[in-house]
Amino acid sequence: MRRTPALLILPLMLATPAQARDSLGIFESWGAFRDPATPRCYAIAQPVARQGQSAKGFASVGNWPRQRVRGQVHIRLSRARAAKAPVTLVVGERRFSLVAGQMDAWAADARGDAQIIAAMRSATSMSVASIGADGRGFADNYALRGAATAIDAAALGCAKLR
């Protein structure tokens, strides 16, 4: 397994309020972390940066054992979307319509989460697209190499937390 430097994942960790986090591993461009105080565990990655642009936003798959939530997909968009603009996730050859707020998007239910994660396990890339608040379309692209391992590490990291 080739590891990506932790410095690439550091901005994702800083995107949320400061809390104690345990690294469960870095797998290619995906990291797995545990917040024992919450408790929660998650796999997370930034979109692939385009030339001249910094990577903004993130994709994550989280687990909250106290709430009995496992494998919940969450996308933080790189740009604010236009009101009522649809958000579409393409994983390999599968397309998913997501429920969205201004900057965030999710599967409609646990079944949708499971379908997205299954598609992530067999695809090499995914993209999430919408129309920005400025009226221009945008897409955030993610490499999925290492995603399955990070998702599994996050699930195992929370297996005994309650």
Quick: pLDDT tens for 47-74: 997 755 655 899 999 999 999 999 999 9
- Domain 6-157 class? mainly beta
State how far the Cα of 146 lies from the Cα of 150, in Å rounded to an integer. 6
Global confidence as pTM:
0.85
State how far the Cα of 39 lies from the Cα of 58, in Å rounded to an integer. 20
Hey, where are the domains in the chain?
A: 6-157
Quick: pLDDT tens for 103-119: 999 999 999 999 999 99
Quick: pLDDT tens for 73-87: 999 999 999 999 999
SS3 150: helix
